[in-house]
Structure 1
Amino acid sequence: MIEALKRRGISPSDLLFATLAGLTGVAGSYAVAGNTRRFVVAPIDALVVRMTPGEIVAFVIQNVGEEGHLLHIVLSFAIASGLLGATALVGLAAGRRFGRSVAGAAVAGALAWGLAASITTQPVLALGAAVPVAVWTAVGTGPGITADPDPSRRRSLLASAGALAFTGVSLAVGRSTGDADAAAGGTTTRDAEVTTLMQEAEEKSLDISGDVPGLVSSFEEFYNVDIAEFDPDLSPDGWSMTVTGEVGSDVTVTYDDLTDMPTEHRFVTLRCVGEGLNGRKLDTAVWTGTPIAPLLEEVDPEGECGCVMLRAEDDYFVQFPVEALEDGFLAWGMNGRSLPRAHGNPVRVLVPGHWGETNVKWLSEIELLDEETDGYWEQRGWHGTGPVNTVAKLWSDTTLANGRIEVAGHAYAGTRGIERVEVSVDGGDTWRDAELSDPLPGNDVWRQWRYEFDPDGTHDVVVRAIDGEGTLQPENRSESFPSGATGWVEKTIGR
């Protein structure tokens, strides 16, 4: 392998410095762009996600689990580093040919800049990738290297250490550059109604000793799942959405148009279709927005279309029957502040009672259709656009000061609501009602539950919920793929 590379004029030292140049080029791009779509890896990651066959996606989800998304991120980083490293190889060859490190650095820097600018469409920020590539190319063709293509061990170690140090600093700088608004909300002032709702949720939360969230999740607590790693970074001032369809005239809605419409504040719970049976991808917030039905009626006043396709700025799309949106909601606020970027800023959709994946973030288009077509995840084997499955979560077990054991969690059944949660401490032979938090306003909201019992050895604790229609949560267990996890949650507790 090495001999074959040498015959092509590529020495081990060239590979080393090209690799360092590629890595530092990616790091430099991250330093100036942060964790945004202006980062050179982000468009590559989006392309990798789009191009990966559905069969592979389904296999990874089922066999690797939540960590599977790291595979496409690692691949995207490797591709970006390899492309930038290739520009350094060209620069190294040019520098050696002309006997000047400046020439090699200039060639590599120009090529890296052109590559990064074409990938990100950000010519100024592309310098963040180009400059490190040029520097490490210059080091690779510096004095003492031209006569002997293999640099000394000391030169190689110093270059590697420098690259690692530069990468570390770039990661720290990039994190502060681009991540601040991903986890925090905007500056919208919380109005009196939101304040009242938040206080009501706090007052209705049960006094639970274990690690169970309250009835409203904070920005930091709220789970987050997306098809790609890098979120769109949109401004309300520049945002608009098109409502289109098979009949009627298209309607374009700006952010100001939307926020001038009748405003509502709603408690809405979201649950991820891909979570495990007792997973924690289940959260609730107070959302601020406006009903979606009037916009649909404007485009299709006769109600001739039976399906709706929602499209997002990150190329995600979801389709379901139009009646599912009768109580749908276009949200621009969360817990009294503007949506965080990670949760769909400026505008997202909330579809009552449906799995979280249907609640499209970064909404860009609503299209009415006269026939069904598969959405993003349906093309990959999932069936997550239906109503959520009923579930009672067992999230904590705590020994209290009085010696009793407290078990607690949340229960959720979409718009059906929760009527009761039952607990068995003997493996399902006998059942007792758990204490439930008082219901919050709204028809798509979870409830907390807790139950205390006197320990007597080992207990097989089982929990199940009964929804507002009187239907018992199914006992039979199934995995999350393809239609969401089902079954009763069980846990062995003893001392």
Structure 2
Amino acid sequence: MSPTAEPASPGTSGRASRGRGGRTDPTRLWAPLLGIASALGAFAVAEVVALVVGSGSSPVLVVGAGVVDRVPPWLKDFAVETFGTADKTVLLLGIVVVLAVAAVAAGILETRRPPWGTVLLVVVGAVGVLAAVTRPDATPLWALPTVVGVGVGIMLLRTGAARLRAWRGSALAVSSAPGGEPETPLTAAHRRAALDRRSFLVFAGLTAATALVVGGVSRVLSAGSRALTAVRDAIRLPAPVGPAVVVPAGASLDVPGLTPYVTPNDEFYRIDTALRVPEVNPDDWRLRVVGLVEEEVEISYDELLALPLVEHATTLTCVSNQVGGDLVGNAVWLGYPLRDLLARARPHADADMVLSRSADGWTASTPLDVLTDPGRESLLAVGMNGEPLPLAHGFPVRMVVPGLYGYVSATKWVVELKVTRFADDVAYWSTRGWSQRGPIKMSSRIDVPGSGASVTPGADGDVVVAGVAWSQHTGIAGVEVRVDEGEWEQAELAETVSADTWRQWSWRWSSPEKGSHDLAVRATAADGTVQTSVKAPPAPDGSSGIYSIGVTVT
């Protein structure tokens, strides 16, 4: 060691950062970690309180829901287009990252510039409280998890920062003191530094460990979805009173890679605003029909199952679906006709809309004449593809309305139908710039080959091109394919169950020339309407345009 080097003292590390004048400062590393440990403690306690208040009151979830409620339509479309059904996971991860940065800053500020770390936590808590109490399904108690969590976080932060400052002070005293012999005051300073260091590390370690244990236990205790899954699995749905849906063999073309006619439940797209799937026990579920009606109606789950249920195949489409996108799926639904339920309530003559509300407060505006149309099977659905609704797709009860985008019709976890007027009530997405009425636009898609694929003709010299097309409640009468800027050529259509579902199609590309080509597809509806080539984004009422892909023939 050089004559001018400072010795490493017990309780400090030779790698520790240096303060003013080259003195050892151990807090630069530990202050951020103190902030993280305090935040972990805060969130663990908040989660425990949320178990009592309600799972939806979890601070991260209410902040995330607040973000979802306030993002402009273009940003929502970007998130769905970029991340697909993982958009909620990405949002929650982003919130966690922001909170982690705030925690690090709080640790540094409270150690170096008290009480600014405390002030920062108070600001973060205020945001959480505001997000909690402004949720449509919230009660004033929803603020409690955030308030208690932030209070615990502040206590941990201030206590830890005081110990860290004590360690810092004693360590700097050692590093700035001249060398001494054993049993001199310097030795006492060393011991003091070691004691302060140990005190802080024990506190920080216990805080982090306790937070992780408490948080883990709260996660286990809040896993109500497992219990609800068991309840769902025990349900035996009644048979439909009318003919069951039988999917003919001709509805599915034998083309590898082609989307199946009936979408499996675990592959069905999910786009909604719920960051946590609402947990609605069927024993507690009630649906109320209120508003402009002669007689309000309330129905339980058991009463619903006892009614004459019907089965109907319907293809659902998300308004955020881009041309050629996959936010569309077809299923066989079991449910009670909404027109029959509304008939029991006897809507007023001046009513023109039904505002449906989900268990988490989300709303959709559906034209009353669509729900009462005797030629349209709008259902209060309890079953999907032969089993009770999956939790993520609306269990125990949801709405299914052929021909309308989901944002104005497909309310999951539905608990209320308010008969009203478009002039008097506005639904969730309509307040954010989306159209109040959302009829699905006709569209078509190429599934095989994939975009950018290299294809090799088969033994017969042909390449098979296939996909799906939809025009719900009107039906698909034809599909055409075009190569480059050539003529449109008719494709072969598969059978279909009804006009409310999509239709598979295929086309044989005979003896294609080698090289790069563009393939395009368009559909024709049963009423003779040809799919428009006018391009439109999803907002405000659904995308449109011709879907095309590039392929290379080898």
Instruction: Please give the range of the TM-score, normalised by the shorter of the 2 chains.
Output: 0.7 to 0.9
Does 1:213 find its partner at 2:233? Answer: no
Q: Structure 1 residues 386-395 or 20-29, which shifts more?
A: 20-29
Match among 405, 417, 432 for residue 355 of structure 1? 405
- Tell me what 2:512 maps to: 455
**Counterpart-to-counterpart distance in 2, 1:203 and 1:193:** 24
**Counterpart-to-counterpart distance in 2, 1:317 and 1:311:** 5
**Counterpart-to-counterpart distance in 2, 1:399 and 1:181:** 51
Match among 61, 76, 92 for residue 61 of structure 1? 76
Corresponding letter in the other structure for 1:61: K
| Aligned-pair CA distance for 1:297 | 2.1
**Counterpart-to-counterpart distance in 2, 1:174 and 1:37:** 16
Relative distance call for 1:237 and 1:178 in structure 2 (3 A) is closer
Does 1:267 find its partner at 2:318? Answer: no
Structure 2 matches for 1:454-473, cutoff 5 A? 454-457=511-514, 458-473=516-531
Q: CA contact under 8 A between 2:250 and 2:494: conserved in structure 1?
A: no
Q: CA contact under 8 A between 2:111 and 2:161: conserved in structure 1?
A: yes
Relative distance call for 1:379 and 1:135 in structure 2 (3 A) is closer
**Counterpart-to-counterpart distance in 2, 1:76 and 1:38:** 16
| Aligned-pair CA distance for 1:394 | 0.9
Match among 413, 433, 445 for residue 381 of structure 1? 433
Q: CA contact under 8 A between 1:349 and 1:363: conserved in structure 2?
A: yes
Does 1:419 find its partner at 2:466? Answer: no
- Tell me what 1:366 maps to: 417
**Counterpart-to-counterpart distance in 2, 1:310 and 1:331:** 14
Q: How many residues in Structure 1 have an aligned counterpart in Structure 2?
A: 460
**Counterpart-to-counterpart distance in 2, 1:88 and 1:272:** 44
Does 1:41 find its partner at 2:67? Answer: no
Match among 204, 216, 224 for residue 251 of structure 2? 204
Structure 2 matches for 1:95-494, cutoff 5 A? 140=160, 146-148=166-168, 155=201, 166=212, 170=216, 177=223, 186-189=233-236, 200=247, 204-210=251-257, 212-300=258-346, 303-326=349-372, 327=376, 328-358=378-408, 359-372=410-423, 373-383=425-435, 385-397=437-449, 399=456, 401-402=458-459, 404-427=462-485, 429-440=486-497, 442-453=498-509, 454-457=511-514, 458-494=516-552
Corresponding letter in the other structure for 1:19: I
TM-score, length of structure 2 as denominator length:
0.69
**Counterpart-to-counterpart distance in 2, 1:75 and 1:380:** 22
**Counterpart-to-counterpart distance in 1, 2:491 and 2:197:** 72
Relative distance call for 1:309 and 1:199 in structure 2 (3 A) is closer
Q: CA contact under 8 A between 2:292 and 2:420: conserved in structure 1?
A: yes
Relative distance call for 1:59 and 1:493 in structure 2 (3 A) is closer
Relative distance call for 1:302 and 1:64 in structure 2 (3 A) is closer
| Aligned-pair CA distance for 1:461 | 0.9
- Tell me what 2:184 maps to: none
- Tell me what 1:8 maps to: none
Corresponding letter in the other structure for 1:437: A
Corresponding letter in the other structure for 2:513: D
SS in structure 1 at match of 2:266: coil
**Counterpart-to-counterpart distance in 2, 1:285 and 1:434:** 24
| Aligned-pair CA distance for 1:267 | 0.7
Cα distance per residue 1:355-396 (max 9 Å; x no partner): 122211111211111453432112111126321000111122
Corresponding letter in the other structure for 1:480: P
SS in structure 2 at match of 1:331: strand
TM-score, length of structure 1 as denominator length:
0.76
| Aligned-pair CA distance for 1:438 | 0.7
Q: Structure 1 residues 62-71 or 128-137, which shifts more?
A: 128-137
SS in structure 2 at match of 1:37: helix
Q: CA contact under 8 A between 2:251 and 2:503: conserved in structure 1?
A: no
Cα distance per residue 1:216-249 (max 9 Å; x no partner): 1122211111123222111111011111112423
Q: CA contact under 8 A between 2:365 and 2:436: conserved in structure 1?
A: no
Give the greater-gyration-radius structure (CA). 2
Corresponding letter in the other structure for 2:385: N
Relative distance call for 1:271 and 1:172 in structure 2 (3 A) is farther
**Counterpart-to-counterpart distance in 2, 1:491 and 1:224:** 25
**Counterpart-to-counterpart distance in 2, 1:130 and 1:430:** 66
Q: CA contact under 8 A between 2:59 and 2:145: conserved in structure 1?
A: no
Q: Structure 1 residues 27-36 or 302-311, which shifts more?
A: 27-36
**Counterpart-to-counterpart distance in 2, 1:431 and 1:81:** 56
SS in structure 1 at match of 2:283: helix
Percent of matched pairs sharing the same residue: 27
Q: CA contact under 8 A between 1:406 and 1:452: conserved in structure 2?
A: yes
SS in structure 2 at match of 1:393: strand
